[in-house]
A and B are shown apart, each in its own frame.
Chain A
Amino acid sequence: MKKKNGNYLLLATAIIVGIVFINSCKPKNVSSATSGDAAEKAYVAPGKYDEFYNFVSGGFSGQMSVYGLPSGRLFRVIPVFSVDPEKGYGFNEETKPMLNTSHGFVPWDDLHHLAMSETDGIQDGRWVFANGNNTPRIARIDLKTFHTAEIIEIPNSGGNHSSPFITENSEYVVAGTRFSIPMDNMNGDVPINTYKQNFHGTVSFISVDKTSGEMKIAFQILLPGVNFDLARAGKGKSHGWMFFSCYNSERANTLLEVNASQKDKDFIMAVNWKKAEEYWKAGKGEKRNVTYAHNVYNENTHAATSSMEKEIIMLDPKDCPDMVYLMPCPKSPHGCDTDPSGEYIVGSGKLAAIIPVFSFTKIQKAIADKNYDGMYEGIPVLKYDAVLHGEVKKPGLGPLHTEFDDKGNAYTSFFVSSEVVKWRLSDLQVLDRVPTYYSVGHLCVPGGPTRKPWGKYLIAYNKITKDRYLPTGPELCQSAQLFDISGEKMKLILDFPTIGEPHYAEAIPAELISKNSTKFYKIEDNTNPYATKGEKNAKVERKGNEVHVYMTAIRSHFVPDNIEGVKLGDVVYFHVTNQEQDWDVPHGFAVKGANNAELLIMPGETQTLQWKPDRTGVFPIYCTDFCSALHQEMQGYIRVSAAGSNVPITYSTGTNQPKATQ
């Protein structure tokens, strides 16, 4: 009996010891990864400004978000490729044309990358460009107003992923197609298994007007049917060149995860765009009939126009020697990043165990020496060893993207091993590594893609968050993590959630943008054809079955605010002009039963809401943006009568028109 008890005691002890032991083998709590002074470093006191603006792609939200660094505070979500009922974007008559394409109105897209405008390889804070992945488009956002100013559709493209990447004087923004497809000017109704014969890739060079920023597709380059992934412009000594990563050199059209991972090496494509520009100007390109939309927003009319372009100039490398070269790069390269000096091009094979770093000087020599490793679809392939600066050994698993600081260091993200690795460009030595939570994609160092990185911070944009935040059901936020990189070691100082899925982002010193920020629109500059300047000009006009309400909004009333004479079957247009001329006094406008959204009208601006009443009755209208102490009084009525009714058009504010009857 006694012995039996002793055995039980031993067993219990063993179990307890075992549990303790197993638990001690679990990884340490991740919260220990932040340093002691993290809060202080990321703290921006109330009323104080952040040091940097951080423009972050919104991924499948189709929008772009604007954060402050180092606080991680969200300032604004700029609607770009997706409608935004909050701001009336894509719902009001003025912005509907922004989302027009050759496929008609496309109210959503997938915004992956952005590129800030540069002068002499330094961020100039004028514009930020962004790509629409799904229905290929490039947008330009004006950083005076934080409005999407222009959207251009890209023909001969499917999955506009390899874009937008910008040259050092904003001469061109490039757009490379991820999917190779049958070209737009041929009959695309071909069997998919004829991929190798009928499918091509293209990269587009979009010129940017130096003063207006207006985009124009200068030329496209016709390329073999591979997948273009990412790109980067040369800078400094390599200015005039553009580098594109490409995968699927196997040219598979099904089960790419296996079939496009067969070859040991895919390519980084080097394009001498200065040469391409010469060929284009010399008329070496072929005119092709295509259709693509070009949408421009006008800050004076506060309205967009959409026009259809019909032509593209296509350059074929076969007719244009010395324009395109391929460099072998291990295992399906993703990131393709040029360092601030322009000498090094860092390729990141998603499945590779090393990071190859190419040398621009060696590339030039290999081209001069014709040091080729054969041809790929008529394009010379440079010898790997001849163009290689060196390989970063054992950096981690699944390298994706590389950013650069101002001290000669590179930072590469690793999706599979979920970490950021800091290494030195000169000797390719790994200096530091930090974990990310979890599975980092893109990285951002302020000024990181330019000739002049501002350094100081590194932001990791993660694809997975799991347990990092309070759970919100099955759909969780994605996140950014801010690291202080001013010292030898990277230090995690802040986590913050993001909208949609953050892909690429850029950060810029705040004063480069804040000093130019528009406070309000001058009403005398408003040339919207439906603008109402002054309450005395407010009116209601019938044009057939259209009723146009020329309405003013000022604290705290609309003119007119009582409207009669609308009939069922009419289409009513509320053209609301905000009369205010002061900072931060928008007015909103909404009408009951509208099938679209609200208007949110900035001071001096005119916006138009279309409304098709579906029944007779009296419908409330009101201001939706808390504008003043009497905001709640900013309201009115619109009466809808039967189709055959003889109620005349009348309108008023302050007095009854028609007069009240007893």
Chain B
Amino acid sequence: MKNNSLYLISPLEGHKVIMKKLSIASRIIIAVTSLAIIATYFLPAWRIDLFAPQYPEGLVMKIWLKNLTGDVDIINGLNHYIGMKKISIAMFYEFSFLIYLVAAFIAYGLLIAVTGSRRILFSYLIVSTVGGILAMLDFYRWGYDYGHNLNPDAPIKVLGMAYQPPLIGHKKLLNFDAYSMPDVGGYIIISTVFIAAVIWFIEYKKK
């Protein structure tokens, strides 16, 4: 690895660098998938679905990079009974910088494509994984606060009951079945990172 990195920064030994650089195909794929992330500005990234006997058609909250859509008002109306806070855009400080973070992420991917650097690709994977974990931790932190920090004057109090939504997957919350999962935008980001990981693995095996 150390040697490789040396070659990378040595333009004089370009013939050796070509061997160690990512293939053109890999670079194109990374460029295309990175650019695909632009779609997340126009598509929701995450969704929480709620189903109950009275809501067979379901209620949905969609989380975008800087917005919330879906049945937020209806969910708020229902949740006030158990003393949950009103969900609003202002509640998520993340909305103030997520669009820049994603822009940086796209640039990061394009940098790999331009340089063809295996090293930058590797760091990209590390950063993505750590970033993903941090994002989920942040989402968990919000969910914990939202589900536990209840108004003591709430009309309905169920002893020992908290209403933290599931981080990912399904959870039963009183009469509701809650599902938390990525939406289209989220899947695009996940796919991009996954494809990058596969490329790294293939390139790594090439030696």
The chain A residues found within 8 Å of chain B, CB to CB, are 554-556, 580-582, 628-630, 633
State whether B81 touches A581 (Cβ < 8 A).
no
State whether B156 touches A581 (Cβ < 8 A).
no
Bound-state CA distance A580–B73 (Å) is 9
CB distance from A562 to the nearest CB of B (A): 18
Q: A581-B74, A629-B156, A633-B155 are in contact. List 12 more A-B contacts (CB 8 A).
A: A555-B77, A555-B81, A556-B155, A580-B77, A581-B73, A582-B71, A582-B73, A582-B74, A582-B77, A628-B81, A629-B81, A630-B81
CB distance from B9 to the nearest CB of A (A): 60
Q: A residues within 8 A CB of B71?
A: 582
Interchain Cβ contacts under 8 Å between A and B, 18 examples: A554-B77, A555-B77, A555-B81, A556-B155, A580-B77, A581-B73, A581-B74, A582-B71, A582-B73, A582-B74, A582-B77, A628-B81, A629-B81, A629-B155, A629-B156, A630-B81, A630-B155, A633-B155
Q: A residues within 8 A CB of B73?
A: 581-582
Q: B residues within 8 A CB of A581?
A: 73-74
Q: A residues within 8 A CB of B81?
A: 555, 628-630
Bound-state CA distance A420–B77 (Å) is 55
Q: Type the 1/0 row for B4-32, where 1 means its CB is closer than 8 Å to any CB of A.
A: 00000000000000000000000000000
CB distance from B92 to the nearest CB of A (A): 22
The chain B residues found within 8 Å of chain A, CB to CB, are 71, 73-74, 77, 81, 155-156
CB distance from A253 to the nearest CB of B (A): 61
Bound-state CA distance A198–B156 (Å) is 74
Bound-state CA distance A630–B77 (Å) is 13
CB distance from A37 to the nearest CB of B (A): 31
Bound-state CA distance A556–B80 (Å) is 10
CB distance from A103 to the nearest CB of B (A): 45
Bound-state CA distance A234–B156 (Å) is 63
Tell me the number of A-to-B contacts counted with CB atoms below 8 Å: 18
Bound-state CA distance A554–B81 (Å) is 12
CB distance from A583 to the nearest CB of B (A): 8
Bound-state CA distance A581–B78 (Å) is 12
Bound-state CA distance A309–B73 (Å) is 45
Bound-state CA distance A564–B200 (Å) is 75
- CB-nearest residue of chain B to A580: B77
Q: A residues within 8 A CB of B156?
A: 629
CB distance from B27 to the nearest CB of A (A): 49
- CB-nearest residue of chain B to A556: B155
Bound-state CA distance A629–B52 (Å) is 14
Q: B residues within 8 A CB of A629?
A: 81, 155-156
- CB-nearest residue of chain B to A579: B77
CB distance from A520 to the nearest CB of B (A): 11
Bound-state CA distance A142–B202 (Å) is 64
Q: A residues within 8 A CB of B74?
A: 581-582
Bound-state CA distance A583–B52 (Å) is 14
Bound-state CA distance A551–B51 (Å) is 32
* Max chain B C-beta neighbours (<10 A), residue from A555, A581, A582: A582
Bound-state CA distance A555–B73 (Å) is 12
CB distance from B204 to the nearest CB of A (A): 53
CB distance from A555 to the nearest CB of B (A): 6
Q: B residues within 8 A CB of A628?
A: 81
Q: B residues within 8 A CB of A582?
A: 71, 73-74, 77
Q: B residues within 8 A CB of A580?
A: 77
CB distance from B90 to the nearest CB of A (A): 17
CB distance from A616 to the nearest CB of B (A): 33
- CB-nearest residue of chain B to A555: B77
The 8 closest A-B pairs by CB, nearest first: A582-B74, A630-B155, A581-B73, A555-B77, A629-B81, A581-B74, A554-B77, A582-B77
CB distance from A483 to the nearest CB of B (A): 34
Bound-state CA distance A555–B81 (Å) is 9
Bound-state CA distance A581–B81 (Å) is 17
- CB-nearest residue of chain B to A554: B77
CB distance from A584 to the nearest CB of B (A): 9
Bound-state CA distance A582–B78 (Å) is 11
- CB-nearest residue of chain A to B80: A555
- CB-nearest residue of chain B to A584: B54
Bound-state CA distance A430–B81 (Å) is 66
CB distance from A357 to the nearest CB of B (A): 50
Bound-state CA distance A628–B156 (Å) is 12
- CB-nearest residue of chain A to B54: A584
- CB-nearest residue of chain B to A654: B153
Bound-state CA distance A629–B77 (Å) is 13
Bound-state CA distance A556–B73 (Å) is 15
Bound-state CA distance A554–B80 (Å) is 11
Bound-state CA distance A633–B155 (Å) is 10
- CB-nearest residue of chain A to B71: A582
Bound-state CA distance A555–B82 (Å) is 13
Q: B residues within 8 A CB of A554?
A: 77
CB distance from A67 to the nearest CB of B (A): 24
Bound-state CA distance A580–B76 (Å) is 11
- CB-nearest residue of chain A to B78: A555
